[in-house]
Structure 1
Amino acid sequence: MIHPGKPTKFDIRRIFRARQNGGNFHVRTAGPGTSAPVLLALHESPRSSLSLVPLMGQISDRVRVIAPDTPGFGVSNRLNDRVTSLRDYAASLVELLDGLGLKKVALYGTHTGAAIACEFALHYPQRVSHLLLDGVPVFNPQERRAFANGYFAPYSPRWDGTHVMKLWSRMLDQAYWFPWHDRIPENEITRGDPNLELLNRTVVGHLQAGEAYSDPYALAVAYETVSAIRQLQCPVTMFARASDLLRPHLGRLPDTWTTFSLGDDRTEWGEFIAYRVISTDCDRMGDVPANSATRRFLRTDTGWLHAARATSADQSNGALFPAFLISDRSYHGDIANPWVVDPPGYGDSELRHATKLDAASLALSLEQASEQLEVTPPTIAPLSLAAARLLQQAPIPAPDLDGRHLLACWFAARNCLASRPFQRPLTTGSVESVFRLLFLAPRHREALNAIQQTATEAPELA
């Protein structure tokens, strides 16, 4: 048996939990090796549970953190019906907790996550030992109208690529003004030079969510936060850090309510949260099990690899080309429900920053994935080497202040499809799918070199 590398100091697992009506929750979880108090943590929009990794790093030595991607964001599938209320998101959390056998948890939410957490605590107070609201959204009627009329700009792919430049321009504007679309002196933010990596991660969140990115976002802006908090029947703590855009909103809460203004020191922030989780009577849990039959994350030496059953791959955000097919049957015969695995750094698979990816490390990670999928001996074959060779000519999308990395990716995607190795029509929608593949894989040349070297003796399936 080929064992993956040892977990890091604070070990984050990535799992899928199946939903009753189809689709999956993607969950990041971290905690001590033994049973610990459970904190259910909800992220802001349009991000994913990746934004909660710093919190996990501060408190997972004594708290079991369970951080799902909001449905429709990150790697979680959307809810089946179009969401019209934050209660729809709250109800989905009930299913998640029930499936894990958890009756009562501490609940943390930031920004949009804070609004969802508040709605959950309002309707299911018996499930919450303590509610922690980090950056409470309290918008007035005038701001709600202004947000509705301009803040939630639609993301509609255009052939000439102007949509990606508009998206990047919005990210830059949001680093200087809040709200970004109302560029007046009163809305200016003093933050120094913009953090390009952070802006890029926010763009990733937009791309993963697609055109529905604004659903929970808009509902959080419209949420009657003060009214909801007044009706709560569980302990609640409201706070914000110094750099939080919503810190001024603490001053909009009633004067008789206790709020906390924290500095930006992460250790102080983590201790503040951990103390309130440990001090409450919530359920305890060790590791969090996965239970999805259609999607899995597999721990390998190169990072977590995403795998999807071929029957469900087209419905997921991952399993895009280039990819590997792992099956227990010869490629010459019928392949029953094979697993499609995104290579390291592609689709939804990770590639650790410090990892050198070459043919040997890629082959090892695929063997480790096969063992966890219980496919032995496996047939491992690339789906399309022709696509991989062409994608290798595309640029590496390192963030630039002027957004040229986004535009370069868009035209690289157009050029790839124009060469027709993908057997897809050259449409704006098909270009968008290849563009997302390139943009979400910043080390794709390194990965593609390894894919081609590994696949020299393997059969190509497409």
Structure 2
Amino acid sequence: MPSQITRQITRHVLTIPAQGGKPARKVHYRRCGQGPALLMVHQSPRSSSEYTELMRDWAAHFTCIAPDTPGFGQSDPLPGEPEINDFADAILEFADALGIAPCAAYGFHSGGIILVTAIKRRPQAFRCLAVGGYAIWTPEEMRIFGESYLPEFVPQPYGEHLAWIWSRILEQSWVFPWFDTREEARMSIAHADVEHVARTVSEMLDAGEHYRAGYGAVLRAPRDIPAPDAVVPPCLISAYDGDPLQAHIDRLGAMPASWSAQKVATPKEHQDLSLAFLKEHADTAPCGALPEDGHEGWLELEGGLIHWKGAKGGRLRLHRPAEELADPSKGEIAIDVPGHGQSDDFDDMKRAVEASAEALGVSDIDWPAPPAGDADRLYPDMAPDRFGLYLQRAWQVARAEAFFAPWYEANAAHAVPLTPEAIATPAVHARALARIRAGAAARRWHDTLAQIQGETA
């Protein structure tokens, strides 16, 4: 079994320089394990976080490297109207920037489409590839998907988009595609797993309207497997019972001699089969240090990771409860406080902040005052529920904050001046997402600040 150290997932940011008329872009990636490099590309509209458990499982065998593809998670989108070749090239650019090519690779669903496209464009960049489910759509299926699968996802003033996204993600396990409510479209793996749905909803909210670019490029991608005589690295495609793409194994047709496809019974069997294949064909040289940016990253503290931005050594700026870090000014450094934004939660928030300051070379911490009001009312329950009501709760609070202070006092005595900036839908959306991400940590941060304020009074 891998040790606790090798099972630790770290997070990093790497900026791909501008080249060939394309602007510079930020790529967020996760890393875990030891051994040869394994590039892992997630499905749409998810992020690299979907691989956290799998990365820990495979950590003893590989240095697992999972980027957020462009426009998903915390990675910048591609400009214009990108197609599948652009997403494949983006993965190749990332591998080149890390210095890991040629490497083994794994992709699930649309992640597999991106990687197969990348192999066709530059086969020498890979040692081998394992794919979970590979879609071969018929022309009629492509027409249906093109018309209905990717509606616009634009925040609406009263939060209507949140009701839609909850139902869309929840019912994707009931019928496939999600909008096909015929009995024939029922799935055998239907569930109402609140934690799973909430996690996927959160990733969809991170992507926003950019989900249509990445997902659309995959849906429109040509489904041509490399020709039987193509000189390409070995590949294994497998799909388990209940995966809507398992039936597509029969549609793959002739493949290169080193390629094979197999139906399996369970997700675990698919993962075990993929791991054995990757171990057989991967390089044996261990992966070395990987490059990352010097102006943003995640601190590895005992108990979790803290997200930071800015110039190390500057004044440390902290945000208030249920908010997130803003880009720091010159001479400042900012963090997402524990449990907020992109930082892990910590039992002792004050100690985690002080440890962050020490790690960042900061001696001056700007502790904010807690918001005025009754803490029991300022932070309503944001725990995901079966009906997605927590999303609407966050939206209503975010709108009320533009009208009153504290937000729950909806009366003339507590009115604040209305400004276009505060009530604008993108601003409300940002505040709602920050509150959703913070969850119960917002109240605990409020109490921590109140305690510090009392100690310094």
CA distance in 2, matches of 1:438, 1:143: 39
Q: How is 1:26-425 mapped onto 2 (pairs within 5 angstroms)?
A: 26-32=28-34, 36-79=35-78, 81-228=79-226, 231=230, 233-254=232-253, 258-264=260-266, 266=268, 268-282=269-283, 284-286=285-287, 288-309=289-310, 322=323, 336-351=330-345, 355=346, 357=347, 361-373=348-360, 375-376=361-362, 378-382=363-367, 385-386=370-371, 393-419=378-404, 424-425=421-422
SS of the residue corresponding to residue 456 of structure 1 reads helix
Q: What TM-score comes out, normalization by structure 1 length?
A: 0.84
Q: Is the 8 A contact 1:107 1:132 kept in 2?
A: yes
- Would you say the 8 A contact 2:375–2:446 is kept in 1? no
Q: Take 1:77 and 1:319, find their aligned partners in 2: how far apart are those partners?
A: 26
The counterpart of 2:435, out of the listed 427, 434, 438, is 438
Distance 1:285 1:345 in 2: 34
* Alignment partners' CA distance in 2, 1:171 and 1:234: 35
- Give the superposition deviation at 1:198: 0.9
Is the 8 Å Cα contact of residues 363 and 454 (structure 1) preserved in structure 2? no
Amino acid at match of 1:348: Q
CA distance in 2, matches of 1:427, 1:392: 24
Q: Distance in 1 between matches of 2:263 and 2:181?
A: 27
What code does the residue aligned with 2:208 have? Answer: G
Runs of 4+ in structure 1 off by over 6 angstroms are 318-321, 324-327, 387-392
Equivalent residues of 1:135, 1:246 under 8 A apart? yes
**More contact order relative to length (CA 8 Å, sep ≥ 6):** 1
Distance 1:16 1:440 in 2: 20
379-388 or 152-161: bigger deviation: 379-388
> Displacement, 1:285?
3.2
**Contact 1:87/1:120 (<8 A) preserved:** yes
Query: Which structure 1 segments of 5+ residues have no match?
Result: 1-5, 312-317, 328-334
Give the letter for the 1:258 counterpart: S
Q: State whether residues 340 and 442 of structure 2, in contact with CA within 8 Å, keep that contact through their aligned partners in structure 1.
A: no
Q: Could you say if the C-alpha distance between residues 235 and 381 of structure 1 is closer, same or farther in structure 2, counting changes exceeding 3 Å?
A: same
Task: Report if aligned partners of 1:42, 1:109 keep a CA contact under 8 Å in 2.
Answer: yes
Contact 2:74 2:206 in 1 (8 A): yes
Whether contact under 8 Å (1:322, 1:384) holds in the other structure is no
Contact 2:338 2:441 in 1 (8 A): no
Instruction: Give distance in 2, aligned partners of 1:419 and 1:302.
Output: 37
CA deviations on 1:200-258 (whole Å, 9 max, x unpaired) are: 11111111001111212112122222345655622111111223232222122127773
CA distance in structure 1 between the aligned counterparts of 2:443 and 2:254, rounded to whole angstroms? 56
Length-normalised TM-score, structure 2: 0.84
Deviation by residue 1:356-394 (Cα, 9 ceiling, x = unmatched)? x2xxx2222123222332x24x21114574389889713
Q: CA deviation at 1:305?
A: 1.0
1:3 aligned residue: none
Q: For residue 263 of structure 1, report the CA deviation from its aligned partner.
A: 2.7
Query: Which residue, out of 449, 452, 455, partners 1:452?
Result: 449
What is the CA distance between 1:117 and its match in structure 2?
0.5
Partner of 1:417: helix, strand, or coil?
coil
C-alpha displacement of 1:72: 1.4
Cα contact 1:39–1:105 (8 A) shared by 2: yes
2:17 to 20, 33, 36: 20
Which residue identity does 1:342 align to in structure 2?
D
What displacement does 1:416 show? Answer: 2.1
- Contact conserved, 1:167 with 1:203, CA < 8 A, in 2? yes
Q: CA deviation at 1:346?
A: 0.9
Q: Distance in 1 between matches of 2:168 and 2:440?
A: 25
C-alpha distance in structure 1 between counterparts of 2:374 and 2:83, whole Å: 46
- The RMSD of aligned alpha carbons is 3.1
Give the Å deviation of 1:269: 3.7
- Give the conservation status (yes or no) of the 8 Å contact 2:33–2:56: no
Size of the aligned set, in residue pairs, is 428
Q: Which stretch of the first structure deviates more once superposed, 122-131 or 364-373?
A: 364-373
Partner of 2:21: none
What is the distance in 1 between the residues matched to 2:294 and 2:451?
A: 28
**CA offset at residue 190 of structure 1?**
2.3
Tell me if the contact between 2:55 and 2:64 (Cα under 8 Å) persists in the aligned partners. yes
